[in-house]
């Protein structure tokens, strides 16, 4: 089989350790296990996304993977993740955080539940447009539909036009499809430019979002841990027993080695009230000696530990100072 193939032979730091997820003991700092991780897929890989044709997820998939993939659209994120476990898709591409609204917690939980790994990331700029049926004038529009997150990112637009009624939909591009399916001239949709091109709608207003610096981070997921050439960013998840200083000690393993953390996210552990999983992204590869030392150190003070992915960092969006 050919297509998207990732292969690597590396020194394994460990994936799942201890706790409620595994009874595998943590490796010692001297343990070195040579493994090869590969993903072999069909001639035209299948990539699952949430959304209709023309959605931001589809745009991200095409930008990241090109047009030599088959994109499978689903209505709900649960279906996207299930398509991997049911072997209907080789990969899935999901949004994990937005620069304005923060983390998409549901996808963090699904990532953990389905045991998928991050192989790539992409930052996509989100530009919202007001789209209507061909020939419709703005004055005719009474209702605007879109995904709830998209509507919340356009609050200033609705303050400018208070007579417009907001109505939530399951998807930005799906809202454009809805007005075409029903032929509603008094309803417009908020979606990306690609949605207007796919369905043939007219853009009545461009860039109606509140903030121009609106980016969504997408991650490409598969069942196997990969370490492609040029990988320089790593994602992990861990938890620890609730004792004083536990979080400080866990994060200090990175500070002591000058490893730059780019994100920290906590999620509650189901069935263990007031205990949390900590998701951490940092710059560095699992091939780096400093990273291996940090992760070996971290495993000594945590009861759950897993490497979620090691992949090339998308540095297209630079951080700006406050």
Residues 6+ apart with CB under 8 A from 270: none
- Tell me the C-alpha to C-alpha distance, in Å, between residue 74 and each of 55, 71, 116, 142: 11, 10, 18, 29
Cα-atom radius of gyration of the chain, to the nearest Å? 22
Would you mind telling me the total number of residues written for the chain in this entry? 322
Active-site residue, from 187, 216, 226, 302: 216
Q: Given the structure tokens 């700029």, which residue do they identify?
A: 125
Q: For residues 22 and 108, what is the distance between their CA atoms, to the nearest angstrom?
A: 19
Helix (H) or strand (E) holding 202: strand 202-205
- Is 218 marked active-site? yes
- Is 216 marked active-site? yes
* Residue 143, strand partner residues: 165, 187
Active-site residue, from 218, 254, 278, 282: 218
Question: Which residue numbers are catalytic?
Answer: 216, 218
């Amino acid at each position: 089989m050919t297509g998207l193939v990732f292969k690597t032979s590396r020194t394994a730091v460990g994936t799942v350790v201890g706790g409620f997820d595994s009874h595998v003991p943590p490796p010692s700092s001297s343990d070195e296990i040579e493994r090869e991780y590969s993903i072999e897929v069909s001639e035209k890989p299948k990539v699952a996304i949430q959304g209709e044709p023309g959605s931001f997820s589809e745009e991200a998939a095409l930008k990241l993977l090109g047009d030599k993939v088959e994109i499978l659209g689903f209505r709900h994120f649960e279906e996207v993740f299930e398509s991997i476990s049911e072997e209907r898709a080789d990969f899935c591409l999901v949004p994990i955080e937005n620069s304005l609204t923060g983390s998409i917690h549901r996808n963090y939980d699904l990532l953990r539940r389905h045991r998928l790994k991050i192989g790539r990331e992409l930052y996509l700029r989100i530009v919202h447009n007001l789209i209507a049926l061909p020939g419709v004038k703005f004055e005719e529009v009474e209702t605007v539909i879109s995904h709830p997150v998209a509507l919340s990112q356009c609050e200033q637009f609705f303050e400018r036009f208070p007579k417009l009624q907001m109505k939530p939909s399951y998807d930005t591009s799906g809202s454009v499809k809805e007005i075409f399916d029903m032929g509603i001239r008094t309803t417009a949709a908020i979606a990306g430019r690609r949605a207007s091109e796919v369905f043939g709608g007219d853009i009545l207003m461009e860039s109606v979002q509140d903030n121009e610096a609106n980016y969504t981070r997408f991650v490409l997921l598969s069942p196997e841990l990969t370490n492609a050439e040029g990988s320089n960013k790593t994602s992990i998840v861990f938890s620890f027993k609730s004792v004083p200083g536990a979080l400080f000690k866990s994060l200090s393993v990175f500070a002591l080695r000058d490893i730059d953390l780019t994100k920290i996210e906590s999620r509650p552990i189901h069935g263990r009230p007031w205990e949390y999983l900590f998701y951490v992204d940092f710059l560095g590869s699992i091939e780096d000696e400093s990273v291996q030392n940090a992760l070996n150190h971290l495993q000594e003070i945590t009861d759950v530990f897993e490497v979620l992915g090691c992949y090339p960092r998308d540095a297209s969006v630079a951080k700006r100072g406050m």
